[in-house]
Structure 1
Amino acid sequence: MTTPRTGTLEVPGARLHYEVRGSGPVLVLIHGGAGDAGVFHEIADPLAEHFTVVAPDRRGHSRSPLDPPSGTPRVADHSDDVVRLLGELTDGPALVYGSSSGAVVALDLLARHPDRVRRVLAHEPPVIGLLPDAAAYRRLFADVRVTHRRQGAEVAMRQFLVGVGLAEAGWEMPPLSELPPPLRELMTRTAANEPFFLEHELTEVTEYEPDTGALLKAADRLLVGVGRDAARQMPGRTGAALAARLGLPVAELPGGHTGYVEDAEAFAARLTELLADGPLTA
C-alpha cells in the first residue's frame, strides 16, 4: 500500500483533509456516513494505476473538523466542498464515485454542478423517499437517534445496521485489539465518527430528495450502482428505485454495501471498467 500525498483545504465552516494518489484523470472517492478517506485504502492503489485518486474526509468526519464544531452540514455543503477541492486540483471536470451517504453527495454534485463532473457512479444512495415503506425507515431512524442518546453510539449503530439489513441480529464488532494496526487505526477513527453520523448525518442524508429533473438532464453521465449481494438491503433497494425513477439500468458492483472492502481487487477493476473513458454502460 502506497503512502498518499495529503493536504488540507480551508472551506467555509470546516477544514478538509484529503489524500491523493496516482496520475491521470481525476477520480474523487466520497465516503459514506461515519467513514473517512481510509475506507478506500484497499482500492486506492489499483485505481491509482489509472487515475489521480482523490479521497477527502468529508466535513465533520475524522480529520476534517467543523469550525465552529457544531451544527448539521447539509448535503449541499458536502457537494460544494468537492467543488472547492476540485478547484484546487484540476481545471477540468472529474470522475466521481460516491458510496452510501457519499452517493447522495455525488448526486447533488451532478445536479447542482454538472460542469464539474465527467461521470458519476452513485453506489446505493439511501434516498428512502423513493421506497413504498419510507415511513417505516423514518420511524427506525428516529428510534435509533433516541437509542443513541439513551444507550450510546455502539448500541444505536447496531440497531441501525440490523434495521436496514446490513448486519444480522446479534452481530458484534470484533475487538479492536484483534485487528491489524492500520485497520485498528481506521476503526478507531470511524467509531469516533458514529455520534456525528447518528445525531446529524443520518436524518439529513436520508431526508434528501434528489433533483430528478436535473439528474435526467445529466443522465448520460450517471451510473447508479448496487452491490451484487445487496438487492434486499435498504440501500440496495433505494439504489434500484433511483435507477428505475431515472430510467437507467442498474450497474452491478461486487459484494454488498461495502464491496470496496469485501472484495477490493474486483471492486477496483469494476470501477475502472465503469468510469474509464468510453461509452457509458452498466
Structure 2
Amino acid sequence: MMSTASSLAVPGVRLHYELRGAGPLVALVGSPMDAAAFAPLAESLAADHTVLTTDPRGINRSPLDDPTAESTPDLRAGDLSLLLAHVDAGPAAVLGSSGGAVTALALAQAHPERVHTVIAHEPPLAQLLPDREALLAATDDTIATYLGGDVRGAWAKFMVTASIQLPDGVLDMMSRPDRDAQQVADERRWFAHEMRATIAWRPDLSALRAASPRVVVGIGKDSAGQLCDRTSRALALELGIEPTMFSGGHTGFVDNPARFAAELRAVLD
C-alpha cells in the first residue's frame, strides 16, 4: 500500500513520519527502531487502519538541532503527542516496542488525551526489578565499552544483560566495519544518548493506573527468561493486569508481521 512521507518541526527536531491506509489511527513507535523497521507491520495493518510510523528524534531522517542532545522517553512522548495532534485523526492506539514501549507509557502518563490504548510490547523498565542497580551498572559498563571503541564487546555485554542468546556469527555481523553509515550513526546515538535514559526511566505507576488510556502489556512467547520478559511481567503485576502474549520474541513484529498484525487486531478489537 502506498505511504505518504512528510516531516514536522517540533522543539529541537524535525520529525520524519509516514502515513498509510484509512480507518482508526494506530501509531507504531520504536526506540531506536525507525519507521522502516515497522513498515511490513504497517502494511499489514493499513488494510483497515490509518497507520502512523516515525523516526524518533535523532534517528535516521529525524535530525536534531543539537546532535549531542539526549533523547529521553518524556521528550519522545512529547514529540509523539505533537505528531498525533498534527495528524488529527485520533485519539490513537499506540503500539510501542522495546524503547518505544517506554515512549508509549510516557505518552499515556503525560498526554492521555492523545491515546485510547497503549500496547507496551516488552518495555525494558529496569527500575521495576529488584536487581535494578546491577542492571543499570551493567548498562553503564556497556555504554562505556561502546564509546571506548569496542563495538562487538559492547553488543556482547548488551545481550548478556538482556539475557538474549544470539546464533553464532551474529555478533560479528552486527559489528562489521563495513556496515551502512546511517546504521552506525543511529547505533552510536542509541548507545551515547538514548539507552541509559530509556532503561532507567521510572514509570509513574499511580498515573498509569489512573490514566484514561487502556494499557496492555505485551510479551513475546519466545522471550521467556529475557530481561524484557521480566520487566514486562513486573509492569503488568504493578498495574494489576495479565500480560498479553504475542508470537515470536522481542522483535516478533519484524519476524512475522502478518501474524503479529492479526494478534494486534485482536487486542484492538
TM-score (norm 2): 0.92
Hey, which bits of structure 1, 4+ residues long, moved more than 6 A?
A: none
Of residues 234, 254, 262, the one that matches 2:247 is: 254
Which residue of structure 1 lines up, in the alignment, with residue 48 of structure 2?
50
Task: Tell me the CA shift for residue 173 of structure 1.
Answer: 5.0
> Within the alignment, does 1:127 sit opposite 2:159 as a pair?
no
Q: Distance in 1 between matches of 2:63 and 2:152?
A: 22
Q: Distance in 2 between matches of 1:175 and 1:200?
A: 23
User: Given residue 268 of structure 1, which amino acid in structure 2 is its aligned partner?
Assistant: A
Gapped regions of structure 2 (runs ≥ 5): none
Task: Tell me the CA shift for residue 78 of structure 1.
Answer: 0.4
Which residue of structure 1 lines up, in the alignment, with residue 21 of structure 2?
22
User: Once superposed, what is the RMSD of the aligned Cα atoms?
Assistant: 2.1
> For 2:170, what is the secondary structure of its paired residue?
coil
Which residue of structure 1 lines up, in the alignment, with residue 224 of structure 2?
231
Which residue of structure 1 lines up, in the alignment, with residue 30 of structure 2?
31
Q: Distance in 2 between matches of 1:197 and 1:210?
A: 20
Q: Matched residue pairs, number?
A: 266
> For 1:144, what is the secondary structure of its paired residue?
helix
In the TM superposition, 1:107-256 aligns within 5 A as: 107-168=105-166, 171-173=169-171, 189-218=182-211, 221-256=214-249
Q: Distance in 2 between matches of 1:231 and 1:27?
A: 27
Task: Tell me the CA shift for residue 156 of structure 1.
Answer: 1.5
Q: Distance in 1 between matches of 2:215 and 2:132?
A: 24
Task: Tell me the CA shift for residue 115 of structure 1.
Answer: 1.0
Which residue of structure 2 lines up, in the alignment, with residue 68 of structure 1?
66
User: 1:185-219 deviations in whole A, cap 9, x for unaligned?
Assistant: 9x764443111111111110111110111100137
The answer on whether the counterparts of 2:159 and 2:165 sit within 8 Å (CA) in structure 1 is yes
Task: Tell me the CA shift for residue 231 of structure 1.
Answer: 2.1
The answer on whether the counterparts of 1:162 and 1:169 sit within 8 Å (CA) in structure 2 is no
> For 1:140, what is the secondary structure of its paired residue?
helix
Q: Which moved more, 1:84-93 or 1:102-111?
A: 84-93
Identity of aligned residues (%): 38
Which residue of structure 2 lines up, in the alignment, with residue 263 of structure 1?
256
Gapped regions of structure 1 (runs ≥ 5): 177-184, 277-282
Which residue of structure 2 lines up, in the alignment, with residue 279 of structure 1?
none
